[in-house]
Amino acid sequence: MADVKFGLRVPSFPVDGSSGEAFVEQIMGFVGRLEDHFDSAWVSDHFVPWASFESVTTPTLEGYTTICYLAGVFPKLTFGNIVLCNSYRNPALLAKMGATLQLLSGGRFVLGIGAGWKEDEYLAYGYEFPPPAVRIKQLEEGVQIIKMMWTRGEATFEGRYFKVRGARCYPKPDPRPPLMIGGGGERLTLRVVARHADWWNLANVTPQTYKHKLEVLEEHCSRVERDPSEIVKTLGSMVAIAEKEDEAWRMAERSPFIGKGTEENYIIGSPESVTDRLVEYVKLGVEHFILRFLDFPSVKGALLFGKEVIPALHEAFQ
């Protein structure tokens, strides 16, 4: 059994009406208190809050800039985005940005990327919002360019959506950052994962759904003659954890992030029940959890998780 890793989902917008300055203090204190318990930290990629219950005027941090800053402050953690929108940055430029962060951070960067989904954000910022199939084809072209930029002396690519001619990226990232693709679309997205991803992220699903999606991914891997064990499996999830089971469920019920009737998609409960739930995912092959704790900006839940759940899970798979 692979050594399981744990990542913190660092919010990109406040949930308590804080100003931008106060919110920065929140996340710095949050990560600072928890860096000794977790392996990685992750920030989403949106220009306004992705949550519909938050005002578009809520202070929101740009995701890539944020991880660059955090990587400089917290040297124990690996950093990534969950996940960057392929449409928002030219892939050759993104490859250069990623190579630079990999160098500056001493090899602590994972490039998480996906096809994008938030139509109103696209249109507000002047991006075209094509149909899903087109966005996924654009994603596939983008990741091919990124990998070429990182591994070849110069990159030339003539795609339908992106073109680069003799593009160079020096110094080459060493080691090459893992490329994590997020999504669970069975016909197109998981095919791109099978062809190109080093890591795969699926978010907010039950163990049963994760198992099904993994089986579909394995089918795509078989078609392209790839060993699915080469792909690191990750799970993103919301977590409501408290000493007592009923306290955790009350937290989940109060949270606007968890819709009524969707609780089974998330991780909720006491340390014992949370550990039991994570064991289910690990048995399916999950190797890295990326977790958003619903009591943020408090660190109580994440500390409880770090002190009780992580050791218990490691002990379960010794």
pLDDT above 70 covers a percentage of the chain that reads: 99
Average confidence (pLDDT) over 68-75:
99
Contact 25, 60 (CB under 8 A): no
What gap in Å lies between CA 67 and CA 115, rounded to an integer?
20
CATH code: domain of residue 38: 3.20.20.30
pLDDT of 116-137, one tens digit each?
Answer: 999 999 999 999 999 999 999 9
- Inform me whether the pLDDT recorded for 2 exceeds 70: no
| Residue indicated by tokens 């009406």 | 17
Query: Is 297 a member of any domain?
Result: yes
Sign of CA dihedral 287, 208, 300, 22: positive
Domain count, the chain: 1
- Residue positions counted in the chain: 318
Calculate the dihedral angle through the C-alpha atoms of 304, 181, 162, 130, rounding to the nearest 10 degrees: -80
If one compares 236 and 1, the residue with the highest pLDDT of the two is 236
Query: Is 107 a member of any domain?
Result: no
Query: Is 189 a member of any domain?
Result: no
DSSP three-state, residue 196: helix
Query: Is 206 a member of any domain?
Result: no
Query: Is 215 a member of any domain?
Result: no
Question: What is the span of the domain harbouring residue 4?
Answer: 1-82+231-318
Query: Is 89 a member of any domain?
Result: no
Query: Is 125 a member of any domain?
Result: no
pLDDT of 7-56, one tens digit each?
Answer: 999 999 999 999 999 999 999 999 999 999 999 999 999 999 999 999 99
Rg (CA), the chain: 19
DSSP three-state, residue 198: coil
- The structure's pTM equals 0.97
Average confidence (pLDDT) over 103-115:
99
